[in-house]
A = this chain, B = another copy of it.
Amino acid sequence: MSCEPEIAQAVRDRGRRLTIQRAKILSALRHADEHQSAEQILDRVRGDDPLADISLSTVYRTLETATTLQLTSELRGASGTAVYEWAEPGTTHHHIECTACGHTEVVELTSLRLAEAEIRERAGFEADIRHLAIPGLCRDCRPGGDG
């Protein structure tokens, strides 16, 4: 697809090598319409090309690298399985996950911008809160109930 050169460029611009494994893995995630686990990504890659024999280790390593490069983001929720999504540059969103029923919603929280600033001032850290999983209780599960 047309965005593959962009992916290639993005990887190389950051001083990493573009391997066919990386190209396929990142392209699969780029074109998925929702977040994917490592195994799901591997299935997609194999679906596109059954001869592509990429190891699961490589999927994990590629996603780790790409997350460092801010091309993707990683979410480790309570489910026990980490999921990954393509991080469209300049976009921000946050996942809130019900610790009781597992239901998740996506919200963009403007107040977290303030948190980034506060962290910079107080600790000198450059926090990355573009994509974060926040635990909580959803409307249906919280003590107060529905209302």
Contact = CB atoms under 8 A, between A and B. Distances in A.
A119 B107 contact: yes
Interface in A103-141: 105, 107, 109-112, 114-115, 117-119, 122-129, 132, 134-139
Interface of A is mostly: mixed
Contacts of A96: 119, 123, 125, 127
Contacts of A76: 76
Number of chain copies forming the complex: 2
B124 A139 contact: yes
Contacts of A21: none
Interface residues of A, number: 33
Contacts of A138: 123-125
